[in-house]
Every structure is written in structure tokens, then in C-alpha cells.
Structure 1
Amino acid sequence: MQLNSKTVTGVLLTVLILGVLYWYLFQPFRLVPERTQLAPDNGLGVAPPRAGGALGNRLVRLCPEALCRCAPLDNLSNSDFHLVAPDHLLYKQPSIVQGRTDVVTVTPWLAPVIWEGTFNPLLLDSIYKLKNITIAATVFAVGKYIRFLKDFLVTAEKHFFTGFGVHIYVFTDRVDEVPHVQMAPGRQLMVISVPSSNRWQEISARRMELVRTLIEEKLRDHVDYIFCLDVDSQFHGRWGTESLGGLVAVIHPGYYRDDRSKFPYERRPESRAYVAPGEGDFYYCGGAFGGLLQEVHQLVKICHSNFLDDAKNNIEAAWQEESHLNRYMWINKPSKVLSPEYLWQDFKPINPEVRIIRFSGVTKNYAEIRPNA
């Protein structure tokens, strides 16, 4: 049987199409845009853009085994994203047209800003109770700062994640002076001995390194969230599940009404903590920050590395770890921002928009308690 030219052409075209489909589906590698990889050594927590754009124009071979190396979907953490509430829980109906109008409650990158009146404590606690989470807190009581530890611990028992599993890690050079405070069931106090210092700046700068070591050696498999807090502070009101997030920052009470030109960022370009004029979102506290364990680990790792790079060049950032933290969070935006309610200053009058003080730095004589003030 003879085939006419149209039939032959149709058969050949069908074979060609099937061949292309087979090559695409079963080839031993795929050509995909090369992804930007994390580059911790650049001090930003992100890699610089490649030539040709943010993703670059180069192509890489990706073998079938590489395509299967992702973590199984059922192993991915849902601690921050999948919020399950108990069935039949009764609480006040939420509204999207009524609420706080005197303050901003969301950042330009759509992170919530937490103020009194923007969350339901009953609902949030019920959601996180089901997760059986554990929260760690670190506090440094070095030198004469040991005097503030008892009030910190006593007030934390009353207000800091009450009803949840909490591990408080106290770093101190005066282990024998750590006060005994009765802890509620499921809450623990651990004391870690550290050397003293003749410069308070060194104590401040060393915190990032010590928190990193703590996470890597003790907390990795036992804690979900961690907060790093100043010891010369007290709790006055609830600090709970409303503060949980991936990377959590606290707005500094001294600058939240100011133009960013007045923020005390590190302004020397040669420093790894440098924030240029005209840049920056908010000024964040070094005395209170936290989030998911893996997020805080990345933060302290990068900040400590940047501090060491500065030290090699005989540079000490203007406000030590707080300067490096602000640089990091300018690039790596926090996923939740806590209002100044979460670290007020006792010597400041309370502004009208601040309806509650949850945590505050106590009034003190720095010349008396700092070794080289």
C-alpha cells in the first residue's frame, strides 16, 4: 500500500512531537535558572545578585537525585503557618472595619505590628497550646547586673508565656549569687557560667556568640522559639503567644516617633553594621528580639561574624550588637514587629498610644553598674 505525501508528513510530525515529549519528561537532567544561594560571608544574610539579574542567566545541570533531595512535605515545620484552633472555642467576633486607628498595625512588607487591642489572647493561646511548643529566653547577668536578675525572674513567672513550657538561660559570672525563684511546672531555670569583663561593650558584643553556641549545643532539638532579653528589665503585663513569629523585632521606645535620620545606626561605611543615610525602616531594640530557633540562629551567626570582621579592622559598631542587629533586620525583614509596649523605658512618660507596658528597662545609674562607664 502506497502512502501519499500528506500521510507521511503527518506520521513524521507525530513521531517528532512524541520524541520531544519523551526527551523533556525522561531526560537525565533539566535546565533551570541557577538560584541565588545564601552567602553568610557577605554579612547580610543574603547573596549578592549575579550578573544578568537577581537570578542570573546561567543554566545548570540538575540530576534526578537532586530533584528528590527536598525534605518530605509532611516533615516541614508548620509551627508558624498552620494555625489550628480548638473546635467550638467561643470568642468575640473579629472585625476588619473596627480596631486601632491611632497606630500603624502592619509594616510596608505586611508584617503585623503588635499593639494592645490588635489580638485575642484566648484565641492565640488556644492555638499554640495544641502545638505543645517550648520557648527559651536568654538573659545576661554579668558583673553588677546580677542585682536585676531576681526581679526579672519573678516578674517573668507572672507574665512571660504563662502556662507554656519555658526554659530561661542565665549567663553570669556570679553563679553563687543567682537567686532562687520558684518556677511553675514545665518551666526551668538554667545557669551558664561566663567570664567577666572590664568593658561593658565586650559583654554586650559577646552575647551574639554565646547565644549561637547555646542554640547549636543545647537547644537545637528541644526548643521551638527563643527570645533574647535584657536582665535590667521587668515584666508588667502579658508577653505571650501574640509575640511568636519567624523573626521578631521590638521597636525601640526612644525613637519610634522620630525620622530615621535621627536613628543611632552605625554610619561608618567601613563597618559591617553600616546603614546608609536614607535607609532603614525602624530602630530596633538590642535588648529584646527573638523568633523561631532557626531564624534567631541565623541572625546571631551573621551578626557575630560581622562583629569579628569589624574587630579585625579595629572597628567597634556604635551600639555593639544592637547596631549589627539593626543592619541585619534592614536586609532581613522581621516577620513580626512588637510595639514599644514590649520594651519601654521606666524613665519615660507614657505616650497616649501606649495602652499597656508589658516589659520595661528599669531606671539605673550606668556609671555605678558598668565597669567602664
Structure 2
Amino acid sequence: MGITIVGTGHHVPGPPVPNDALSKVMETSDEWIRPRTGIAQRHFVAEGEGVSDLALVASRRALKDAGLEPEDVDFIVFATMTPEFIFPGSGGLLGAKLGIPRVPALDIRQQCAAIPYGLQVANGLIETGAAKRILLIGAEAHAGFMPWDDWDVLYGETDRKVSEEAYEKGTRHRGLAVLFGDGAAAMVLERAEAPRGFLGAELHTDGRMFDRIYIPSGGFRSRPYFTPEMFEREEHIPRMQGRDLFKTAVTELNRTVRSLCETLEVSLEEIDWFIAHQANDRINAAVRQALKAPPEKVPSNIARFGNTSAATIGILLDELRRDGKVKEGDLCCFLALGSGLNWGACLIRM
């Protein structure tokens, strides 16, 4: 029956940053952000804090939840689009910090769609005997591309006002900047005993839509791969075509979930939980309506964390498990769309 999830954990850094705090560094407000996104607050990493640091805390919590030690893990799959370094990846850093430096670590780059992909990869590793117990991580540190430098103003550590130029810069990127927060989630995966397990996945990638959300600078088409001019053009900050992303997410996620269910001969009504990537409450509401799923089957926690990209699904699942809502035997559909564009869904019997 493939894999199932035997432990979960999550971690978010620092104090919450409410919507109104963002008004100190850009033209925005809670009244502007919340109706458009469902977000009330988010968290950001401190200077010098990386995704493997966040993942370390989340991993320890997941292993404790599973009643295991780091030495029981024989493979790490680490999903992030905001690593400490361009190379190497963050998976090996996490393994070293956990005290298991020789355990193989695979870094994957499906951005917000990472968890459906990661679960399928993990299932294949376990089904082929390449691994017995896998630590699947989703972790992000988006603070590095936020369009402001006045962190002391944001956190209320000073009463000074930001410069007019800095305020205008923040406002130019407001539509993207208000969405993201930082955090990490971990899942411990191992072979399931029937009737639990991984039923299947349907995944898609369409590189024709890469520019719906991407970072223009820092690639190896340029010599050197970063230049002062890139920063002057603010190309280190993601570009996003929000309306196109909204339409594509609603259309493709609805189509993919229905196709997966048809392939596996599972009705939508049999699914206990639709655990969706937390990108925007309006997107998830539209997907829910398209799937004709009742609201109580499509939980959300974006109000408290914002969009933590690869970490959103894991954070939400951990909260649901710890609250006693998602239980053994429940059928969960994990669904997500992210930069690439990548999207997909998978079904797991917990």
C-alpha cells in the first residue's frame, strides 16, 4: 500500500507580524490585505537563520511524534525554494544538524507544489526498497526577498519612519509581499499496512507558464549570475501575475483532483480532508466550490501563517493531527500549485 505518515511537526520563527505592521514599510492595511488573501499575520526568520534551522526544530517534533530518533531515518527529501546557498542544497545541512550526516538527502524544487511531488518521490523510494523511513521537509525563508530593509521599523523597535523612496519600493511590490511568511514542516514516512497507504498521485508541470511567478535575477544565463544592475532593477524580488495564477490554480487543481479520483475509482465524497496549499483563501474557496466539497473538509490556517510555500501543507496537517481532527484511517487529498508551473494532487489513507 506504499507510504503513510506516522509523525508530523512544524516550526515558525520569531513573533507574528500582523497586517497593520506592514503599513509601516508600504501603503497597505489589514482592511486591504485580509479581504484579498485571508491573511492576518505571518512570521519571518531572523538575519542569519536559514531553512535548515527551521527544519531542524520541525524534524525533532515530527520524530518525537512518531516515537523515533534521527538515527531511525535513512533518507531525507528536502523541499525549498529559499535555500541557504545556491549550492549545496539544504537537505545535507539538515542531516548534519540532526546528527545523521551520512544519510542521503535529496533536494527538490517544486516550490509551492512540493508536497504532492515529495510524497510521490518518497513513495517510490520506499516501494523500491531504496529507503525504509523518510523525513520529508518543506521549509521556506522568504524574508530575504521582502521589498524592505527597515526590519527595525517593521518590528516596532524604533519610532522612526522609513524614507519616501523605501516606502514607494515596498508599495510597488505590495501585492506579493503581503502573501508570504516563513516556516517549516516535517513528515515521517514509512511503509503502510493495509488499508492505510499511498493510493496514488497525479502531477503536472508546464514550463510555458514559468513567468506567472518567478525571480528574474540570479540565474546562470548572466555573467556573473548577480550584478548590481539586477538589484537596481529590483529583479531579486519575485514577479507575479496574480490573476492568471488564480485562474490556473482553480482550473487545474479542480481538473487534477477529479482526474486522480477517476483513475483510482474514488469518489470525491469518500475523501475526508482536502489539505490544500495555503496560497490565498480566495483561491482555496474557489477550488472548494469547483469540487463541490463542504467547507468543513477544506481546512485553512493561512490567517495565522500566510503563504509558507513548501511548508504550508505540512504545517496544516500537523495542526490537524495534533488537534485530533485528522485520524488514522482518514482519506486525505493533498493538492497544490506552484511556480514552474508545477501542480498536482495525491491521496493517502492515514
Instruction: Identify whether the pair has TM-score above 0.5, normalized to the shorter chain.
Output: no
Considering only CA atoms, is the larger Rg found in Structure 1 or Structure 2? 1
> TM-score range with shorter-chain normalisation?
under 0.3
